Structure 1
Amino acid sequence: MAPVTSIPYPSTLDYKNQGVPVPGTERPGQTPHYRNGVWGYISVDTPGALKTLYEIFENGYAHNPNARLLGHRPKLSDSPLKFGPYVWQTYKEVDVRRRRLGSALHHLFQKGDLKAHDLPTVGIWAQNRPEWQIVELALHAYDKVGVSLYDTLGKDSVEYIINHAQLSIVFTTPDHIPALLKSAPKCPTMKAIVSLDALNPQARTAFNAWGESFGIKIYELSELEALGQANLIDPIIPTPETIASICYTSGTTSNPKGVVLTHGNLALSAYSNLFGLEYPPSSCLFSYLPLAHIYERVMELATIATGGCVGYFTGDPLRLLEDVQELKPQFFPSVPRVLNRIYQSAMAAGQLPGIKGALFRAAVKAKMDNFKATGATTHTFWDAVVFRKVRAVLGGNLMLVSTGSAPISAEVMDFLKIALGCEVVEGYGMTENCGTCTHTVKDDRSASGSIGPPQPVNELKLVDVPSMNYTSKDKPNARGELCVRGANCFSVYYKDEKNTSETVHDGWIHTGDVAEVDAHGRFRIVDRVKNIMKLAQGEYVALEKVENLYSACPLVSQIYVHGDSLQSYLTAVVVPEPSTFAPLVASTTGDPSITPENTAALTKALRDPRVVAETLRVLTREAKKNKLTGFETVKRLHLSLSPFSVEDNTLTPTFKLRRKDAYAKFKTELDALYALGEPASSGSKL
């Protein structure tokens, strides 16, 4: 049988029926169920569907065993730091390595050196690299459960996950081994650590001695492969119901939640992404988004399923441009924060004086007008003269750019489509549905600003949120909490009945996002059911938690913390406490006559940049004291002596902040703070 390939869109698309209601499914307090208007609804019973992760790899292998699969840039020197061109491992070579690693793990579990307390869980803690994917492929083929760890969770969360998932073995890089060994007294289930890189003799001796004191064996990856070769067995074929992964999501006010995902969940998610995927076998994906997160993982699975290849970045965000230009990929999964920087850098060309600026502005206008009229994203003249340079920034061969994890503005999306001259899609998903829920449709001229129709594997509905005045009867578009179900959707958080019961009702995931659905069956996120929002880089922030911590600062009388999902940082309105604010103003301005009673002087000081900067410095110190992360820390603020009150409707009668009204009161000032642009910080050049 020929391997499954990507499924192109039909030659004509009905853009008016991208998502269609299922007859007879409307109920009081909710919309009908919506399905994909092009492909209908797929499930584990769909003929030809890829139903397990084992089948995903086998299908990719069947396209061409000798094709490139996993690539990386080897380091040539440390001083100066220099990397070579991409080096590749083929499907056949990766197949040999996954069988060896899988056999070794099975042998160690069978021997009792590793113990499956509840499930045969295996941890991976590393940046994206070929070995991350090889280990994961071994787990898929040998009935083991992958658990990813990542730095942004923090030390306490890493220890929590090791214990909660009862990990007995963790694959990692040498830099993480000391942290794991320090945690060993608190992680009694951990019995083995595998270094993905060779260790120098001195480090190996030290790690061995350290590990022995806690009963932990240290391996190098090559040793495990040799062990597997000596104890080689055939793969253990999974079923769609076999558990493949526990993927932990970062908690905002509590411990991370472990999303239990089966082979069927992940495989059907990857298979669903093949519908409308129009790049040929051997196409290349550039991997820099964390493999520990579901979005990148499913994009790589879809690429593997089609016989494509994955090129990994060097691990240094400052080398992203160098890496992608070396790789010249066809597929660039990304996030708004990176794409916004590409947009800002490109648009700076329009501000250049003289003929260069004028030429760029003319090119943008001509292509944008043509796109709005016809949906075409290419133009022979303007692409050759102007946009060839923009395309070259990302290697020059792109066929598809996808964005997810947070909203992106319609303006940026439309510009990227004409500047890159390729398909640019926005999608929506969450760990609980394997990052797969909706995405926009090819060449839809009015799609920007929406998240598109349901994926083929999903059904969606909106449920009324009366407390927020969102209902299925709203005009012109129905609104409500977005709920999703399908073969890609999880059913349980690991050992967490409370959160499971709050999230899954009657087989539907309640996402916590408020959406609307338009006449074409496209969805758009408009709000959150709770005061938890996502920043542009995909990080969740519990705004009330942040406000409560800042409120402990003596300088703060009241605070409203504001986040915009199109931005990567928080802003705030602070009503200072006069008794502590006056001394700060006096010392900052050098005017000792300022007192708490001198309202006129304090009001004038609110507009003094020195005073604002000093207030922000004090608040930042408070944030550090309370161990807020960087993305939870306010980066810009507006000072005001006009308090939030019951009288102006910004406080409830019980003195809780009315967030919408608080924002409306200071909308002009908060929008102006974001108009200043992202605060200067080190990081990616993108």
Structure 2
Amino acid sequence: MEKKVDYMDFLQKLSEKGQKLALEVKEKGKETREFFSKMSLNGKKIIEEKIKESNELREQELKKLDKIAEEFEEICGKKETEEKEIEKLKEFIKKTEEIKNKTKEIRENLENFRSHPPSYDEFQNLVAQFNEMYTRLEELGKEENVSIPWQIKFCAEMNPDDKGASVSLGGRITDDKGRNLFGTDCYVCSYEIQDGIVGAEDKRFHSVDSEKIDLCEKCFGTRKKIILSLKKLDPKNSVSKTMIQNLKDHDQYFFDRFSEEKNIDVFMKEKINDAKELTSSIEKTFEIFKERPFFGVRKETGGEEDIVSAMDPFAWTTYGEIYQRVVGFAGGISDILPQGSFIGICSKNNFEWLIADFACAINNYAVVCLHDTWPLDEIEFIINNSSLVGVVITDNLVDSFIKCSFNCPTLHYLFVIGKLPEIKDTNNLELFSFHELEKKEIDKEIDKEIDKEIDKEIKKKEDQIFSLIYTSGTTGEPKGIIVTRSNWLKSNSRIINIAPYSVVAYSPLAHGMQRGIIWQAFYNGGKVGFSEEDDLIENSGILKPSLFVGWPNFWTALYNDYQKRLSDAYENMEEELKEIEEMEKMEEMEKPKENLEEMEKPKENLEEMEKPKENLEEMEKPKENLENSNESKIKKKILREFKQKLGGKLTWVASGGSMISPEVLDFMKDCFECPALNVYGITEVPGISTNGIISKECKLKLEDVPEMGYSNNDKPNPRGEIVVQTETMSPGYFNNEEKTKQCFKNGWFYTGDIGEIDSDGKLHIIDRKANLIELYVSGRSVWISSGSIESLYYETGAFSRLCLFGDRMESFIIAIFIPSDQFIQSFKQKFNLDSSNHDLVKNPEFLKSFFELFDQIALKHSLKDYEVPKGIIIEIDEPWNLESGLVTPNGKVRRNRIFAKYQTRFEAECLAVNERESKLK
């Protein structure tokens, strides 16, 4: 980094003449900036008045146009003569032309004022004077061999961000040439629909059929009335050619199709999506949304809520406030760690986790995600595998990480969130207060303005590592999935057309999915409310998120709660129906009384009303489907209850990570009345498919797995291992060449999942290769090798056949097995039993003996808790052999067929385990 030149040192090095000129330049710069500020403020006020005046005039004119459209609608409704209809259309066309000319004139006057506001000439003179003095000082500095410091250079730049967009008079967003990047004229009335930040929420309607044709909301509505009137005139659309020709002569785009867009989307595409590297995209996003709320946490009220807390129980921090903390922490750690260092983050979800994440991205540090619930041996492995230099941790974890440091020679620094503890022996670890580092650096932001070489270096490193996300390996050793800077930017900076954009963060940020959700919210200017998982329903009801992404086990649990609630409601049908009746009465009372005059008019068809009802007998018949109707009402009520559990404002919901059942997906759609997405993806390759539809960015093929009986030639659908390739897939596993070679081959990633592609081209996950079981434990996916654990159990001689199975939504495994004859006879002798083998499965002691055996093996071989079966299914009556199709010719069990045979019992056993576990809590 170039050494900073102190301003006072600079003055002392100059001659007396140079010192005098330097002070004059500085004063002239100050005078010029102050004049510019006043001119901008005054100009902005005048422009706001002119915009208001022009808007009022436009509103008046467009009301006249709208009235003509209404009159045309009335004529068409009465089906009057074509001459009258054409006459009214011509009037409409004439008024449109008048409006176009008027608004064009108003716009031109506004443009002239913007480009040449009051006092502009005086400002230009000051700039010229400053530039002339600055040039003289520069020449003098060369003569006296003195470099001009940044303090002087800064005076010369009225707009430091001269390469990007800046906000000028009237809130318009312009480039360095003063061109309006986002202004779009309405094709009909010439009005500027989009006006930068000022019009960020304005609607515009863009032609799908013709490029660069946009309509404002008012003109789109008027045009729509004309088209609907024509359709009403003749539903078959065989309207007179003369009428259509009249419209086309006036406007060849009249019958285009239009899609609604918001200015913020265009703004985002221009400002963020064109960012070529991560650092500038982060800085731009923070600048754009600096006034918006970003992070929110539940207020601590001590049990008492004031009026403000009652209105919004969450305390919000803006993008601008967070950015100040990001810049501070980034500056603080840059004095301690060199660029390219690996930094761990181990903490519960909080502001500091994400502040550190953004700061590391700006400084080009690679973040290594650590779950605060992981055992120390796994954390030690990750620290050593990634050569971690420092870790951001909460104060309650300091002792644990000091213990780790004795086995982790690369670890030197702990950045502690909270109070620094007083510890005598830190094993030479240096401890820093996270919050003190935030405050430490102020002038680092200025360094970035003047140190161009740093920015150039960062931009060259977009293929460097952004983060390592660790998941458990097949043998228990975690694998560090590499995420590059460019891939992270491409994956998370996509624009999602949702306003307002709000999410709840409740699962661990150390998991790639939750972290990605927050970054997507960031790039969309959204807000993020933090919640503990135990308080998720309550906090979601308060935050009312617009998007909600949950793990499959969350949605399944919610679905099970719904089914139980529905069942209870059916049992208490009479009481539920009374509640529904009361609710309907309340809703009716709350409805506004509209059209009072219409209600008070005498009824014209009084005679018709007094006629006897012909179908009275039919009406009095009992409803055959009354019971179904009542059940439907109750179901609707319960669905509404569950909709409100997540705030009632969702625009879409998604299940991420792995597949969920169709029943749960249907429940999500019905309950939240919005699109429900079942997203299949893995950390190595996110977003492979949605609701079975393969992503257009993803190349996918199935590879035969003959040992499991899967082939592309299978009927009715091809089946095999899912092999994928995307632009944003991980390049491999960090410091693990063996696993990288095993899973990443010739640019393709071998998922280990077995898929089937149906006749509609949809992907279905049906199995897992290599007998690996995926579970969801402590907020992350873990993989266990069922084969290696099964071999331990076979060694006992207690099993003739055995298979372990698990579910991605659960944290435990289930054992399905046939006991060996030896074990059965031994058990009978021990308990002096003479019962048949079939009766043994009902004997509690027989079942207990297997759980005790599993615990003994777990203790002997140091198995993890989730590697020990929590449920069992015993097969006594039917053998697994070649004849039954459950064993291959070489004697291996066919796991997919065994699971299919016992799937119903497996699901029932999972429910039973969950019930037992919940009672123990």
TM over 0.5, shorter chain: yes
Question: What residue in structure 2 maps to residue 429 of structure 1?
Answer: 681
Q: Does 1:551 align with 2:772?
A: no
Question: What residue in structure 2 maps to residue 69 of structure 1?
Answer: 294
Q: Does 1:215 align with 2:458?
A: no
Contact 2:870 2:913 (C-alpha < 8 Å) held by counterparts: no
Contact 2:473 2:479 (C-alpha < 8 Å) held by counterparts: yes
Deviations 1:518-576 (A, max 9, x none): 44443222222321132467443322133233335564454221234465532222333
Which of 841, 846, 856 is residue 606 of structure 1 equivalent to? Answer: 841
Q: Which one has the bigger helix percentage?
A: 2
Contact 1:350 1:358 (C-alpha < 8 Å) held by counterparts: no
Question: What residue in structure 2 maps to residue 173 of structure 1?
Answer: 394
Q: Does 1:673 align with 2:673?
A: no
Question: What residue in structure 1 maps to residue 741 of structure 2?
Answer: 501
Question: What residue in structure 2 maps to residue 145 of structure 1?
Answer: 366
Q: Does 1:283 align with 2:534?
A: no
Question: What residue in structure 2 maps to residue 224 of structure 1?
Answer: 437
Question: What residue in structure 2 maps to residue 340 of structure 1?
Answer: 556
- Partners of 1:473 and 1:318 in 2: CA distance: 48
Question: What residue in structure 2 maps to residue 28 of structure 1?
Answer: none
In 2 relative to 1, CA 194–480 (structure 1 residues): closer, same or farther, beyond 3 Å? same
Contact 1:400 1:422 (C-alpha < 8 Å) held by counterparts: yes
AA aligned opposite 1:292: A
Q: Does 1:397 align with 2:649?
A: yes
Q: Does 1:106 align with 2:106?
A: no
Contact 1:484 1:508 (C-alpha < 8 Å) held by counterparts: yes
- Partners of 1:614 and 1:571 in 2: CA distance: 16
TM-fit CA distance, 1:585: 6.0
Question: What residue in structure 1 maps to residue 864 of structure 2?
Answer: 629
- Partners of 1:51 and 1:250 in 2: CA distance: 33
Question: What residue in structure 2 maps to residue 309 of structure 1?
Answer: 527
- Partners of 1:580 and 1:479 in 2: CA distance: 39
Q: Does 1:97 align with 2:97?
A: no
Extract unaligned runs of 5+ from structure 2: 1-180, 183-195, 209-268, 304-308, 449-453, 581-631
Residues 115-264 of structure 1: pairs in structure 2 closer than 5 A: 119-151=340-372, 153-199=374-420, 204-206=421-423, 209-211=424-426, 214-229=427-442, 233-234=447-448, 236=455, 237-238=458-459, 239-264=461-486
Secondary structure at the counterpart of residue 513 of structure 1: strand
- Partners of 1:666 and 1:283 in 2: CA distance: 44
Deviations 1:458-488 (A, max 9, x none): 3323333344443444444333322222221
Question: What residue in structure 1 maps to residue 770 of structure 2?
Answer: 530
TM-fit CA distance, 1:159: 0.3
- Partners of 1:255 and 1:657 in 2: CA distance: 27
Higher relative contact order (CA 8 A, sep 6+): 1
Deviations 1:34-65 (A, max 9, x none): xxxxxxxxxx9x99455543354345335421
Contact 2:656 2:681 (C-alpha < 8 Å) held by counterparts: yes
Of stretches 349-358 and 386-395 in structure 1, the one that deviates more from structure 2 is 349-358
- Partners of 1:460 and 1:179 in 2: CA distance: 44
Contact 2:658 2:679 (C-alpha < 8 Å) held by counterparts: no
TM-fit CA distance, 1:678: 2.9
Q: Does 1:266 align with 2:509?
A: no
Question: What residue in structure 2 maps to residue 465 of structure 1?
Answer: 705
TM-fit CA distance, 1:182: 0.8
- Partners of 1:640 and 1:384 in 2: CA distance: 42
Of stretches 665-674 and 157-166 in structure 1, the one that deviates more from structure 2 is 665-674
Which of 889, 892, 895 is residue 659 of structure 1 equivalent to? Answer: 895
Q: Does 1:511 align with 2:733?
A: no
Contact 1:401 1:423 (C-alpha < 8 Å) held by counterparts: yes
TM-fit CA distance, 1:408: 0.8
- Partners of 1:667 and 1:319 in 2: CA distance: 33
- Partners of 2:302 and 2:403 in 1: CA distance: 31
Contact 1:60 1:308 (C-alpha < 8 Å) held by counterparts: no
Q: Does 1:593 align with 2:593?
A: no
Contact 1:570 1:634 (C-alpha < 8 Å) held by counterparts: yes
TM-score, scaled to structure 1: 0.77
Question: What residue in structure 2 maps to residue 453 of structure 1?
Answer: 694
- Partners of 1:553 and 1:337 in 2: CA distance: 34
TM-fit CA distance, 1:181: 0.7
Secondary structure at the counterpart of residue 767 of structure 2: strand
Residues 569-588 of structure 1: pairs in structure 2 closer than 5 A: 569-577=812-820
AA aligned opposite 2:502: C
Question: What residue in structure 2 maps to residue 18 of structure 1?
Answer: none
- Partners of 1:654 and 1:584 in 2: CA distance: 31
- Partners of 1:660 and 1:518 in 2: CA distance: 18
In 2 relative to 1, CA 182–74 (structure 1 residues): closer, same or farther, beyond 3 Å? farther
Question: What residue in structure 1 maps to residue 53 of structure 2?
Answer: none
TM-fit CA distance, 1:429: 1.4
Question: What residue in structure 2 maps to residue 418 of structure 1?
Answer: 670
Contact 1:406 1:535 (C-alpha < 8 Å) held by counterparts: no
In 2 relative to 1, CA 467–52 (structure 1 residues): closer, same or farther, beyond 3 Å? farther
Contact 1:463 1:483 (C-alpha < 8 Å) held by counterparts: yes
- Partners of 1:88 and 1:344 in 2: CA distance: 34
Contact 1:287 1:333 (C-alpha < 8 Å) held by counterparts: no
Secondary structure at the counterpart of residue 839 of structure 2: helix
Secondary structure at the counterpart of residue 109 of structure 1: coil
Of stretches 171-180 and 52-61 in structure 1, the one that deviates more from structure 2 is 52-61
- Partners of 1:8 and 1:302 in 2: CA distance: 24
Extract unaligned runs of 5+ from structure 1: 13-43, 111-115, 363-379, 441-449
In 2 relative to 1, CA 633–229 (structure 1 residues): closer, same or farther, beyond 3 Å? farther
Of stretches 624-633 and 493-502 in structure 1, the one that deviates more from structure 2 is 624-633
Q: Which has the larger radius of gyration?
A: 2
TM-fit CA distance, 1:69: 1.0
Deviations 1:578-617 (A, max 9, x none): 5555565677xxxx423xxx5x444422222443244324
Percent identical among aligned pairs is 26
- Partners of 1:311 and 1:491 in 2: CA distance: 33
Question: What residue in structure 1 maps to residue 54 of structure 2?
Answer: none
TM-score, scaled to structure 2: 0.58
Secondary structure at the counterpart of residue 71 of structure 1: strand
In 2 relative to 1, CA 607–329 (structure 1 residues): closer, same or farther, beyond 3 Å? same
Secondary structure at the counterpart of residue 469 of structure 2: strand
TM-fit CA distance, 1:71: 1.7
- Partners of 1:541 and 1:9 in 2: CA distance: 53
Of stretches 323-332 and 608-617 in structure 1, the one that deviates more from structure 2 is 608-617
AA aligned opposite 1:73: R
Aligned residues: 594
In 2 relative to 1, CA 683–339 (structure 1 residues): closer, same or farther, beyond 3 Å? farther
AA aligned opposite 2:408: C
Contact 2:369 2:470 (C-alpha < 8 Å) held by counterparts: yes
In 2 relative to 1, CA 383–659 (structure 1 residues): closer, same or farther, beyond 3 Å? closer
Contact 1:553 1:619 (C-alpha < 8 Å) held by counterparts: no
In 2 relative to 1, CA 462–655 (structure 1 residues): closer, same or farther, beyond 3 Å? closer
AA aligned opposite 1:54: T
TM-fit CA distance, 1:249: 1.8
